[in-house]
A and B are shown apart, each in its own frame.
Chain A
């Protein structure tokens, strides 16, 4: 006997970018990957990370694919686009972090503009999740990429008015970020949409935990958001979701430790790539729509997984 669940909810479709290269995510009418119960018109997409300054603390395996471009965010973004075939670019404004670079909005605006103008694929711009600093930086970043319909994040409870208003004012999408908390995720969505941002311009960032670092907690929160969206038709949870995978995975001890230090753990690159791909595939099963990743080989594995599950080809 075949038992099928019917759902009364649906995930909204959201489109990032404009024109031919715009990317649409969401639109599912069943729980994640339950293709036998509903439709998933848009497969999960992968954004590659680009940083506004050369990263200092990356393990060798993560640096290698980008060694020639780490100094130049524009070249880096183009390499992700042209060579590694990223669906999107996620520009991280790490240098605005008050405890490291503390650069301000005016400093990074030219970088954001240069990257936005150089790439054809859609842009995601992320601050450092320092609420006060992001409130100063993100309006400038949003202004610098106006006309691109980028995704601006993270929007936090403490600064949602400013950062979401920046997305609203410069015609972008916003990524509200909640600390692994269904209620705050929902509450932020309510607050942001009350501010005037259409729900079709909201992508939930539920907080990402890497494998071994809270992945299961993150998974269950995403699962609950999807259950609320599908089975309870809860409008304020029916947005696509984004996960910041690369930066979480590549700081895990199991990924950063070299083979020299832990010979039994084997090749560091293979380890890191698998760690990232496993985290990504788990989150796809939890309903992730946009995976922000770091290593091109992990991206490749994740793509194979998506293709195998959805029958989609790249």
Chain B
């Protein structure tokens, strides 16, 4: 805690209190205690006093207890040689300052001069608070800034106002620097002001800044449903503001005692202070979400700094690209004849890589094309393209890198006339002739990714910068880094086993049609739709804490071999509406997991063959179990436990936990050729890991037979290991 700030704030609070008391006494002498006092058109009396003290000021006489309370909160002014002020004292003096300022302003309504004069708007009525509050709640207005003082020049004032308005941040103005206010500056420059244009000049005096807190206090009472009553409610009102009203103070120019005191008042609401002058900082967090006072910020960085320090999320409503964007365009293909240029696809070096950086290492929003732009490219040719996305966020984790990176496919495909497939350094992109004609450039890849990643993942992405390499030499270094990262990620995923974590995730996305189905997603068993693995579910939970993916603390192990835990059972019981009592994550025979309807594959036992078959959704032919996929799906799905049948994601087939309770991978006796080919690499790897390098060839497919008898003949011929295993039926 800076002694300088504390001392100044306390002195400022004393000064404001004295002014309030003098104004009050003058009004009382002139008008008497019964004189009505109110701000125009509000049901919240003097809103700050009402919110914090539950005092309903209706007459001059009602102000007495407010003054008394303000006085009681005034700490003694610290002596020059004493080192005593603490945050608590400063915060108290901030409250005393706000209460005093509100009285000062209220006395203007009683005695004049009318605070509404010229450009100044004075107190805010309830309808405006409600109308603007809706924008705060729905995020279309991400927050508000209270500017005290004036910018060094009129041009800088206009620029600051423009920067805030571009982000839809409402700007309140009060207080002057050397006789000038920011509102004066905007007025001189001919900038129109008012609530409709997000520029609100409250008043010339610093005391008018209290109107901003009056808006904040009423937002909490109106939208937070908090009725003032005492300390508890006052605290709730302050907490509501801290957590939901993303406001901050910008202090321009010299910060005098009264401004310090007002700023201390704002800190009580969780509103940090950003200053362009070299005032002492209060960096440790506590009352505000992040830092309290950040100073010496150049004017052109002040908005970004404020946005970061307050944790404000800006909504991008329209992506600035010359082609349409939407999921309707995701499915379009661009054939060679329609293509202007292409990238990757074995024709040129290309990659896409997203990595996490520190907050300070990111120049937020910057998009850089390193190498030639599209106007230097020739029709029909392939060019290098490396996409490096760097993100930072206070809640970002390196585990979320691949989750975000994978979004690139559907995000880029969302643009009309742009086509993407593949991932990592095996991607392939095309820009169509029509998109090129409309003016689509390489930099627009950056615009899409910036806008969508910020907008779709506000919980984890605070800042983003994007580099687009179209120069093969210049991308080399980053490509090497990317490849190293891909290897490291694969190792991380390979090293992630169920035993290494204590938390699994539930997925109940499918309950709309399978009301009792719950997927239990563990590192070694992904969701049966194949779309959500453990890392995805973890990220999804971080992004949407009330969504379909909830953490499951495994709890005590009931059966290690079959994969049964106390915590998992409890969750499945609750989420399945009590219809499933227990599940074994690794068993197909005893209490298997339920299936919804979206499984990529069905695993079914072949009792005579003593093994299992796996059939994928795409396979339309007969299978040895006597049913096609479609009939099988009907008997497996719907959220019921069906021993002997299991809906699974493809990746689970080669997992170490694949029906481990029944002997695992070696039980597989049949799968369609197409599936074998699609998973060839992984199947081989898993076979080798089990010491059975030729195992994949022992698995029959439809070219060998589609009856259990034919499969058994083949098994005998190749010596399939399932023949030697314990009977499946026990």
Contacts and interface: CB of A to CB of B under 8 A. Distances in A.
B578 A165 contact: no
Contacts of A162: 134, 137-138, 140
A166 B546 contact: no
A14 interface: no
B124 interface: no
A222 to B, nearest CB: 13
Interface residues of A, number: 29
B326 to A, nearest CB: 13
B511 A182 contact: yes
B548 A196 contact: no
A195 B131 contact: no
Interface stretch (A48-56, A186-194, A297-305): A186-194
Contacts of B137: 161-162, 165, 168-169, 195-196
A232 B578 contact: yes
Contacts of A106: none
B223 A196 contact: yes
A187 B134 contact: no
Nearest to A190: B546
A182 B130 CA distance: 31
Interface string B604-638: 00000000000000000000000000000000000
Contacts of B223: 165, 168-169, 195-196
16 contacts: A143-B127, A143-B130, A146-B130, A162-B134, A162-B138, A165-B133, A165-B137, A165-B138, A168-B137, A169-B130, A169-B131, A169-B223, A182-B515, A183-B548, A196-B223, A232-B577
Q: Would you list the 9 A-B pairs with minimal beta carbon distance, nearest first?
A: A161-B138, A165-B137, A162-B138, A169-B130, A165-B134, A181-B512, A190-B546, A183-B511, A169-B133
Nearest to B546: A190
Of B134, B138, B512, B577, most buried by chain A (CB within 10 Å of CB) is B134
A201 to B, nearest CB: 9
Main secondary structure of the interface of A (DSSP, over half): helix
Contacts of A194: 546
Interface in B203-239: 222-225
A22 to B, nearest CB: 19
A146 B547 CA distance: 33
Contacts of B548: 183
A148 to B, nearest CB: 14
Nearest to A184: B512
Interface in B328-362: none
Interface of A: 135, 139, 143, 146, 159, 161-162, 165-166, 168-171, 181-184, 187, 190-191, 194-198, 224, 227-228, 232
Contact of B547 (A159, A187, A197, A228): A187
B512 A182 contact: yes
Given A161-B137, A169-B131, A187-B547, 5 more contacts: A139-B134, A162-B137, A162-B140, A183-B508, A224-B515
B139 interface: yes
Contacts of A183: 508, 511-512, 548
B131 A139 contact: yes
Nearest to B574: A232
Contacts of B222: 168-169, 171
Nearest to B139: A161
Given A169-B134, A184-B512, A191 B546 contact: yes
Nearest to B140: A162
A159 B650 CA distance: 36
A261 to B, nearest CB: 38
B514 to A, nearest CB: 11
Contacts of A184: 512
Interface string B555-578: 000000000000000000000011
Nearest to B578: A232
A101 B547 CA distance: 36
Contacts of A165: 133-134, 137-138, 223
A182 B511 CA distance: 8
Contacts of B134: 139, 162, 165-166, 169
Contacts of A169: 130-131, 133-134, 137, 222-223
Nearest to B244: A196
Interface string B287-310: 000000000000000000000000
A196 B130 contact: no
Contacts of B140: 162
Nearest to B511: A183
A49 to B, nearest CB: 26
Nearest to B133: A169
A9 to B, nearest CB: 13
A66 B511 CA distance: 43
B512 A143 contact: no
Given A139-B134, A161-B137, A196 B578 contact: no
